[in-house]
A and B are shown apart, each in its own frame.
Chain A
Amino acid sequence: GEDVEQSLFLSVREGDSSVINCTYTDSSSTYLYWYKQEPGAGLQLLTYIFSNMDMKQDQRLTVLLNKKDKHLSLRIADTQTGDSAIYFCAETPGTDKLIFGTGTRLQVFP
């Protein structure tokens, strides 16, 4: 099937690290993406990782990829209240369309 799975909620304290997990379905996906959606807004591409990499770091964001387990994670260091949003992982399983996960709602409290 084409179900990309994520946990629904994550709550963290401001300043802590957040780790959002994703299990994708198709090992042929060339790129894997993380998008952020703020309330009432569209999607913003945060970062992506090429399938032949196992880690990518971009400022406060670290993406880890375990191809064997089809597991993708996004770590946000020093989480801020402005990071509160819904985070979607997405894969491109050999096609042009994006297959999105169910989304993880991140809530940051002071």
Chain B
Amino acid sequence: NAGVMQNPRHLVRRRGQEARLRCSPMKGHSHVYWYRQLPEEGLKFMVYLQKENIIDESGMPKERFSAEFPKEGPSILRIQQVVRGDSAAYFCASSPSRDGEQFFGPGTRLTVL
């Protein structure tokens, strides 16, 4: 049973471009969480999704950020018109149930030039 997979592992974008981060949860997991880790900081919750539904997006910036978890395929975190302050490590976690253990992926490290 493969763990949580994220790709790409490293992503470089210029200011104004779009970043698309992908997360494939563990087999059988329908709950996905996205967290952001700024340099030298802890992880901050962004959004919680369950297949096709956004359950809690209280940690998402109001503009430029969106997330989806379609019926088929990975969860996508999309950042439009990236700025330097978006440079961070973005981690995805999946869980088999709403209050189950969250298993983390290796992260995508986004660098905005």
Contact = CB atoms under 8 A, between A and B. Distances in A.
Interface stretch (B40-48, B69-77, B78-86): B40-48
Nearest to B59: A97
Interface string B27-50: 000010101000001111100100
Given A88-B42, A96-B98, A100-B43, A41 B59 contact: no
B42 A42 contact: no
A100 B42 contact: yes
Contacts of B66: none
Interface in A4-42: 4, 30, 35, 41-42
A100 B35 CA distance: 10
Contacts of B52: none
Given A42-B106, A43-B91, A97 B33 contact: yes
Contacts, number: 52
Given A41-B106, A42-B105, A45-B101, A102 B48 contact: no
Q: Give the most central of B55, B102, B103: most A CB within 10 Å.
A: B102
Contact of B41 (A96, A97, A99, A102): A102
Given A42-B91, A42-B105, A96 B99 contact: yes
Contacts of B42: 4, 88, 100-103
A95 interface: yes
Given A42-B105, A43-B91, A43-B104, A96 B56 contact: yes
Interface of A: 4, 30, 35, 41-45, 88, 92, 95-103
Interface of B: 4, 31, 33, 35, 41-45, 48, 55-56, 58-59, 91, 93, 98-99, 101-107
